Amino acid sequence: MLGDALGAIRHGADVHLVRVQADVGPGFPRFTIVGLPDSSVSEAKARVRSAFHHAGLPFPKGRITLNLQPASLKKQGSWLDLAMAVAILRASATPPIPRDETVFVGELALDGTIVPQQGLSAIGLRMRDEGLSSLCVSADQSLPWPFDDMFQISRTSNLADVAVMLRQNQVRGVVSSSRSAKRVAEDRRAPLLCGHQVEQRLLAICAAGRHSLLLVGSPGVGKTTLADSLSYLLPDLTEEHALEVAAWQEITNPTYAFSLRPPVRRPHHSVSQRSLLGGGRFGMPGEATLAHHGVLLLDEMLEFSHAAINALREPMDTGVIECTVNGKLTRFPASFQLIATANPCPCGYRGYGDCSCAELDVRRYWMRCPGPILDRIDMVHHVNRQTNVGQRGDPLDTWAEKVRKARTLLQGGSSVLTNDAKHLLWRTCERLHASERDRAKVAALATTIAALDGRQEVSSPDIEEAIAWRRPGSLSPSRNAAT
Ligand SMILES: [Zn+2]
């Protein structure tokens, strides 16, 4: 007799649904698994057989053949144990158990207990793409809370209970007390530095439009704390984006706790190009992908290797990293917001105090950062000690609310530049010999500035402010720092 069940496997970042087909028939007792199982999948034979025995279920005596579809895909890990057991139960049951499209995920212990697995966020995204709505996991499985709304989740603690549920045709709809992580109001870590009004506005523009930012300043002036404060202003992610983030985070951190807060990654300056971009033999995501939908914070950007920084060009333009993993083209999403800090010169005090650096040394210092990367950064801000002692701005919560409203307005996508604004933008860019990129970035900044004030009409003062932040045609921090 034949039976089948849906399961899932994970290959690095990808989750694949696997249909397990079981053929149980008379003949010499033999248990065969075909369909490219690796040794961890083949070892399931011993786990499944023992689980049947200890769950008090009769294990078919004759010949058992399991086929894992698609047969061309290499199967690894223990996620398929439960689906294999269910396929055998369905193939050997009398009366027959009707088939359904529930996805079964769990490892079997020898005593028949279903062992929870780590990192199931990606399964949810895959099931949603495939239009599947029913999931069966261990009673102790922790799942992101949006799963409760997305799927019918059946939770069972052992194989005997699964057999009972299958016979009663109750897999779908049997929902035990949900163990999904409860939705909680997440505390945002209040920033240590609230900053001056000017800097709060800078961060708000940055947060509302996801603009990239370079903060230049002498050591101890507070540029790192300022960069950290940005995450406080960022609105929560949508559930879908948060699930995407969780799916990537779980690859490097299996105990990642699902969160709606955007991720903030701050790689050390000794990070290699591969660790920053991902790839390698196992196709692991890099820091840029772990910062997807969030912030990539490069503290002391000029200390990073030239090659590593230069490699960020592609994701900064397209939000995607393409690389070859085991001869196969792989795409890693990397839509991050770049926030970087840098000293103005090798000694760090140029423009802010005593600086003994020669002009040539300063130029050489800034040449560590590839020009195309500097050009792609939307805003450069010089942090002064004085700006931190001046008039304090609004409470950060007020800014966070403005940012949230501005994001909604920007997502509407119906902002327009007035004729005066267009004219001013054109004239200024001509005068400053600004590039097309400068022009586009000034327009985008001005649109964000208008949205922050609750307007969809982008006027001349917005363009003026955007130009002041962007400084088109003169984006050379060494020159700015010297003046
Ligand atoms: Zn110096």
pLDDT in tens, 230-283: 888 999 999 999 999 999 998 888 888 899 999 999 999 999 999 999 888 778
Distance between Cα 360 and ligand 1 center (Å): 11
Question: Is there a single domain that holds both residue 145 and residue 217?
Answer: no
454, part of any domain: no
Question: Is there a single domain that holds both residue 142 and residue 214?
Answer: no
DSSP per-residue string spanning 290-352:
HTTTSEEEETTGGGS-HHHHHTTHHHHHHSEEEEEETTEEEEEE---EEEEEE-SSSSS-TTT
451, part of any domain: no
**Which parts of 30-72 fold into alpha helices (H)?**
39-42, 44-54
Distance between Cα 362 and ligand 1 center (Å): 7
189, part of any domain: no
Q: Residue 395 sits in a domain of what CATH number?
A: 3.40.50.300
3-state secondary structure of 11: strand
159, part of any domain: yes
Say what the pLDDT of residue 383 is.
Answer: 85
Question: Is there a single domain that holds both residue 206 and residue 60?
Answer: no
479, part of any domain: no
Question: Is there a single domain that holds both residue 109 and residue 241?
Answer: no
State which residues have CB under 5 angstroms from ligand 1, the bound ion: 345, 347, 350, 355, 357
The domain boundary residue, chosen from 400, 423, 458: 400
User: Look-up: residue for tokens 């028939």?
Assistant: 25
**Tally of structural domains, the chain:** 2
Question: Is there a single domain that holds both residue 22 and residue 143?
Answer: yes
Question: Is there a single domain that holds both residue 289 and residue 387?
Answer: yes
pLDDT in tens, 128-142: 999 999 999 999 888
362, part of any domain: yes
Question: Is there a single domain that holds both residue 226 and residue 332?
Answer: yes
The domain boundary residue, chosen from 400, 425, 451: 400
Distance between Cα 351 and ligand 1 center (Å): 8
Question: Is there a single domain that holds both residue 208 and residue 115?
Answer: no
Question: Is there a single domain that holds both residue 89 and residue 217?
Answer: no
Distance between Cα 472 and ligand 1 center (Å): 25
254, part of any domain: yes
Q: Which domain holds residue 391?
A: 197-400
Distance between Cα 226 and ligand 1 center (Å): 22
Q: Show pLDDT as tens, one digit a residue, over the chain (483 residues).
A: 899 999 999 876 678 999 999 999 888 889 999 998 888 888 899 999 999 999 999 999 889 999 999 988 888 888 999 999 999 999 988 777 877 889 999 999 999 999 998 888 889 999 999 999 999 999 988 889 889 888 999 999 999 999 988 888 765 544 444 445 555 556 565 565 555 778 889 999 999 999 999 999 888 888 888 888 888 899 999 999 999 999 999 888 888 889 999 999 999 999 999 999 988 877 889 999 999 999 999 999 999 999 999 999 999 999 999 988 877 788 899 999 999 999 999 988 887 677 888 989 998 999 888 888 988 999 988 887 655 444 556 677 888 899 999 999 999 888 899 999 999 999 988 888 888 888 999 999 999 999 999 999 999 999 999 998 886 544 444 444 433
3-state secondary structure of 98: coil
The domain boundary residue, chosen from 400, 429, 449: 400
419, part of any domain: no
Distance between Cα 383 and ligand 1 center (Å): 16
